[in-house]
Structure 1
Amino acid sequence: MPPLRFVALGDSFSEGVGDRADGVWRGWAALLADGLPGPGQRLEFVNLAVSGALSADVAEHQAPRAVALRPHLASVVVGVNDTLRHGFDIGRFAGRLDRVLAALDAAGAVLLTACLPDPGRMLGLPAPLARPLARRRRSVNAVVHALSARHDAVHLHLADPAWTADRRLWSADRLHPGEPGHRAVAGAFHRLLAERGLARGPAPSPEASEPPPTRAETARWLATAGTGWVLRRSRDLLPQLLLLAGEELLHRSDAAGGGPLDARAETALAEALAATMGE
């Protein structure tokens, strides 16, 4: 029986940040991989995801390597870092993601995708800062939904309140799942794949295999890696985010939508979808 090949593409979410086992990041993709092959079938799992990756990184560096591996299954979860960068452009994001999914689809891979939680909400940012990020996240998710349908991907709705509201699923940095969250994601993908007859092994256990981090370990992580992440994102995003927050206050857009900023984002999204989907 030929081996089953599964390749994961994306950023820190798929790299496994938040779920450390044996001193390294493990994550939902590795947990899912163990439950994919049937009895007697060998698994080849390659995780190409890299912390901090943008859609451009996935398109230019990860996707060619993934296509060369001729995977049976390929997960592509990306976009959070794009929304946190000053050069965010929904049209460019849509074009890159479509090229990645199309290349893997043409190579014969079944695609796994997921939409994104709202980083402003997860971080508890004040409304003028949170709204621009929420607007970007909605645009990214709309593109992901459309392209997932176009390529018949196995899609997981990680933006749903059931995922974002349960704090037990998330790590101390509030942006990455902890081990319970990674296990929940792996289990949800396994169920979706099993419905298509694509997961033939046992479902990942929901029970944690590692003790939860102590307060000292959490504080140490936040003071080192966590602080470094915030500083890197702050240098890149914070100046423009403050400008966007100023626009929010000027136009007094409410959280439910409406106003010129929402209209501008909706126009950009419509143009991106029309260009990408050929409408």
Structure 2
Amino acid sequence: MKTTATYTSFVAVGDSFTEGMSDLLPDGTYRGWADLLAARLAARSPDFRYANLAVRGKLIGQIVDEQVAPAAAMRADVVTLVGGLNDTLRPSCDMGRVRALLEEAVERLAPSCGRLVLMRSPGRRGPVMERFRPRMEALFSHIDELAARHGAVVVDLYGAEVLGDPRLWDVDRLHLTSEGHRRVAEAVWQALGLAPEEDWRAPLPPALRPPWLERRVGDLRFAREHLGPWIGRRLTGRSSGDGRPAKRPDLLPYEAPAS
């Protein structure tokens, strides 16, 4: 349903997906769908304020401990919460604990904001992700249940076939490209009831399948540069976000980054 509502504040909570990896800007920082959405919302409201508390690698327990209370205190018009997926990708995962923590986050955030937005995260096709897919889908079912109980909006990115297209994923096969983030921003924009500017689910043009040797070279590069280090962090309990602050910890007037 389209609305003429004006949103004057937006707080993003989550992990690398919401931080914006791998939508890289010329200065080496990440932009991502949340920044893109903030820019569009700011264009509708001169008094618009934006905070992004997301930090790469965060588990749902860390999101609850470090981000939920500050986000709730900001009393924003819109809060987005995306978390729990990193937990499902760990070698061992207590899904009962993940569900309980996600429920705690929703129960604290929903009454504090005008509109709480949850997401079924996009899923890249491929053999590595297949191992974790049952956990991911269990998480998404829980998100649907929480949204129904607390009046939150769910953006179903997982159900969008185009977001499984490898061309919308960075070379690490874990994070979306700039085009992928742009489509997510449009999806959330529409979920907020704002007039669509495009069909974010539209498929990409047909592409030629790379030769077998080129695909194998790409697989080896991925395993060496990304999969190996990622597995190492999972096994040792380390995170790519250890010691990293939030990109926009305070709810302040939005200013577009220099291009």
TM-score by length of 2: 0.72
Structure 2 unaligned regions, length at least 5 = 1-5, 201-219, 239-259
Q: 1:29 to 1:220 in 2, by over 3 A?
A: farther
Structure 1 unaligned regions, length at least 5 = 207-218, 238-279
Q: Which residue of 2 aligns with 1:154?
A: 153
Q: How many angstroms does 1:223 deviate by? A: 6.5
Equivalent residue pairs, number:
213
Q: 1:48 to 1:221 in 2, by over 3 A?
A: farther
Q: How many angstroms does 1:99 deviate by? A: 1.4
Q: How many angstroms does 1:161 deviate by? A: 4.9
Q: Which string of whole-angstrom CA distances, capped at 9 and with x for unpartnered residues, describes residues 99-134 of structure 1?
A: 11121111133111111344xx64423xxx834x11
Q: Which residue of 2 aligns with 1:215?
A: none
Q: 1:190 to 1:147 in 2, by over 3 A?
A: same
Distance in 1 of aligned mates of 2:227 and 2:19: 16
Distance in 2 of aligned mates of 1:77 and 1:6: 14
Farther off after superposition, 63-72 or 158-167: 158-167
More helix by share: 1
1:25 aligns with 2:27: no
Q: 1:13 to 1:223 in 2, by over 3 A?
A: same
Pick from 71, 86, 90 the counterpart of residue 66 of structure 1: 71
Structure 2 contact 110–152 (Cα < 8 Å) conserved:
no
Q: Which residue of 2 aligns with 1:78?
A: 83
Q: How many angstroms does 1:57 deviate by? A: 0.8
Matches within 5 A, 1:15-164: 15-22=19-26, 23-37=28-42, 39-118=44-123, 122-125=125-128, 130-131=130-131, 133-164=132-163
Structure 2 contact 7–77 (Cα < 8 Å) conserved:
no
SS in 2 for 1:182: helix
TM-score by length of 1: 0.67
SS in 2 for 1:7: strand
Distance in 2 of aligned mates of 1:65 and 1:51: 18
Matches within 5 A, 1:208-223: none
Structure 2 contact 77–113 (Cα < 8 Å) conserved:
yes
Higher relative contact order (CA 8 A, sep 6+): 2
Q: How many angstroms does 1:225 deviate by? A: 6.9
Distance in 2 of aligned mates of 1:33 and 1:222: 35
Q: 1:97 to 1:109 in 2, by over 3 A?
A: farther
* Misfit runs of 4+, over 2 Å: 37-41, 121-125, 202-206, 219-231, 233-237
Structure 2 contact 21–32 (Cα < 8 Å) conserved:
yes
Q: How many angstroms does 1:221 deviate by? A: 9.8
Structure 1 contact 32–204 (Cα < 8 Å) conserved:
no
1:11 aligns with 2:12: no
Distance in 2 of aligned mates of 1:147 and 1:174: 29
Q: How many angstroms does 1:165 deviate by? A: 3.0
Question: Which residue type is aligned with residue 44 of structure 1?
Answer: R
Distance in 1 of aligned mates of 2:140 and 2:7: 33
Larger Rg computed on CA atoms: 1
Matches within 5 A, 1:257-268: none
Q: How many angstroms does 1:227 deviate by? A: 5.2
Q: Which string of whole-angstrom CA distances, capped at 9 and with x for unpartnered residues, describes residues 136-168 of structure 1?
A: 111111111111222222211121251443222
SS in 1 for 2:40: coil
Distance in 1 of aligned mates of 2:55 and 2:134: 25
Farther off after superposition, 227-236 or 174-183: 227-236
Structure 1 contact 4–37 (Cα < 8 Å) conserved:
yes
Q: How many angstroms does 1:7 deviate by? A: 0.7
Q: Which string of whole-angstrom CA distances, capped at 9 and with x for unpartnered residues, describes residues 17-61 of structure 1?
A: 110113201100000111124645322111111111111011111
RMSD after superposition: 3.1
Q: 1:231 to 1:86 in 2, by over 3 A?
A: closer
Q: 1:152 to 1:232 in 2, by over 3 A?
A: same
Q: Which residue of 2 aligns with 1:232?
A: 233
